[in-house]
Each structure stands twice: as C-alpha cells, then as structure tokens.
Amino acid sequence: MANLRISEWRKLPVSLAELCIDTTLRCGQSFRWKKLGDNEWSCALHGRILSLKQDSTHLHYRSIKPAVKYPLSPPSSATSSILESPTEDEETEALLKHYLNLAPDLTALYEQWSSVDSNFKKRAPKFTGVRILKQDAWEALVGFICSSNNNIVRISQMVNNLCLHYGPLIGHIDDQTFHDFPPPEALTGPGVESHLRELGFGYRAGYIAKTASIVAKEKPEGWLQSLCNEEPYDDSPDQKPLLEGGREGYRRAHEELLQLQGVGPKVADCVCLMGLGWGEAVPVDTHVWQIAQRDYKFGKGKHKSLTKATYSAVGDHFRQLWGKEAGWAHSVLFAADLKTFSERLTTKVEVNVDEFKIKQEDGIILESTVVVKREYALHEVKDEFEEEKPTRVVVESSRSHRAKRRRVF
C-alpha cells in the first residue's frame, strides 16, 4: 500500500459483554464494514481506514491514512509505511471510543433491562455486547433512506456503490477498495438521481438526491449536528422518569427529520438512535412489530395493525419498560430476531442410533447392524406459549456393516 501511514496494532480493554463487534457491526446499524481474513473488520471513517479485531478481553485496532505530502517528498523508492505520530494515535483512539459509544456500562444496562423484562432476560444471554454506534448523522440518514423495503445485504451493496462512485478514495487493503462516505454536496449534481437509478437504488435515488440538496443548500450549516443529543451519559440510579414520547430534544429531532424526502417515522427513529444519540428512539419495522405482537401482547384491539398510533404506542411501551436507553434494548431483541444470527438460538446434538436387523435363512443367521448418525436441533429460545421440543434437522450420514454369517449347529 503505497503512500499510506499504517499504525501498529493497538488494543483497548473491552470485554465481549461490553462490545461484540461480530454482532454490533452486522445487526443493521452501519452498512460499510467489511469482514476481511482472520475475523478482521475494516471501514473508511473520517479520512482513514480503521481495522478492528477482538479477543475475549481486548479490542485490537489500527488505522491506515493517506500520507501527508511534504514539499520535499522522499523518492518513490523510499519506504511506503510511515508510523503514525502520537497525536494521530490519540486522535484515532478518541474516534474509536466515540464511534463505538464506549461510555455506557452495557453490562449494567443488560442487568437493568433483564430485571424488568423476562423476555429480554430470556433472549439476551445469546446476544451480549450489542452496542449502539455513534455514527455520522448524515451517513445514518442516507443509509436508512436506503433501508426502505430492503434487507441488510442489499442496503450494504447500495451504500458501498454510493461511496465507490461519490466518496473520496482513502486506500486499499489487498484487493479491497475503501472510500469514505460522500458529503451532501457530492450528491447534489444534476445527474445524481439518474445515476443512482442506474446503480440500482430505484425510487430511493430521488429521495437521496432531494435530501442531499435540502441539507446542502437549504438548511443552515451544522443543521443535522444541532439535532444531536449533547447530554452527557448519566447512569445514576435516581434519574427522573422518562416523559411519554421521550425527551423534548428527541421529539424535535424526530419531527424535523420527517420533513425530509424519504423519511418516515421508522427512518427518523433509526437516525435519531444511531446517528443523533437519542437512546429512547425505538424504530418499529416489521421485525420489531412481530416481536411486539409475539412477546408483548400487541396486535389486538385498537393496536391490531401497525398504524401511526400503534407505532407510537409500541415505542412508548418500550420506553416505559426499558427507560432512557430503550433503543439499545430494542436493538438486542432486533438482533435476536435476525436470520443472520439464527444459529445462536439452537444447540445441535448428534446421536448415534444402532439399528439391528436379524434374519435366518437355511440355518444361517444373518445379523445386519446399521449405525445412523442423526443431528437434532434443540431450540433454546422459543415463543412465549410454544412447547420446547427437539426438531429433527438432517440425517448427516449412515454406514452399514456387512452381515455377519454364523452357522447354527
């Protein structure tokens, strides 16, 4: 990698209970992280490529940045890797702590939510370390506009295409190209909408182009940032009860976001939670609506379908149940409901079954033994009123022994 400054690998003491990057980076919050070899995750953030990997006690990280061009640059034959200065090291660590939102004590929050919600207590042990990221608000806004009637894989493809065509190139790792996220100004040109349609964005192309124009040209500079939650994190036990509908700042941010193209209540809540830092925001999509019906007795009476009133009622129910960081707890249950992580919800048990068949012909006993290896899935997490019972998944293999011939005297 020519003309790049590559830091040494460094580490932060972070347990898997406080952060699991394999879950957090895959559960539909951010759409630009790429998993490379040896369980290494990388993404271009704020002018550098940030790479992460994790063990049971530490988060390991390094950064790769374009080299600074000096007037008297060394010849091209000079070394291509220059270690970062201490100032850059500190900057990268601060960026990482901010982006991963490491201030809240996640273990304590899990304990709090488990103490008031038996359903959370049942499902959470398989999904520890799900932490809400503090993403750039503009990136979160565009990413979740792309999420309309979409899935995580396809959203990731769209966002990657957006960066590839409009974002600044930061560098490469092996054959992987890393572009930073494009600013609003980069998406305001006259041909952007039609180009995005060619790239497969569909009707979302118009939403992105119009929203970029509004943010870049109509809103005052720093408008999105002004909607952020600037309150310091407070984990004191004697906090005031959360008002119905959430804090005033959250409600204002939500209402302002709804004025943008392609932003409905769910997208606005996603941006509030994962881009603006409002922990009480509870995005209610089809997954969360199914959870609300299955586990929290919604779907009956006046809340039979997901109307605007029901959307608000679901959010308020979870805010009253889980408190100021309700959106964090909601994201744990959201992750638990994704097919991506379905293997965590089952325990596979292999059983060898010996089947004996005995047959006698003309005084000769033929003994045939067949050993069948069967695999069963025991569902450890089940619906509230569902009986727990083993379900046969697949017969892995079988082998037969040749019959043993034994003459009877």
Tokens of 107: 């273990």
Region label for 28, one of left (φ > 0), alpha (ψ between -120 and 50) or beta (otherwise): left
Distance of CA 74 to the CA centre of its chain: 42
Catalytic residues: 266
Dist. CA 278–CA 270, nearest whole Å: 10
CA atoms within 13 A on the CB side of 115: 7
CA–CA gap between residue 378 and residue 292 (Å, rounded): 24
Rounded Cα gap, residues 109 and 101, in angstroms: 14
CA-nearest of 59, 46, 48 to 9 is 59
As a whole number of angstroms, the distance between CA 8 and CA 376 comes to 45
CA atoms lying within 13 Å on the CB side of residue 391:
9
Q: Cα(311)–Cα(245) distance, rounded to whole angstroms?
A: 11
Q: Which helix (H) or strand (E) holds 211?
A: helix 204-213
Q: How many residues does the chain have?
A: 409
Measured distance CA(376)–CA(390) in Å, rounded: 7
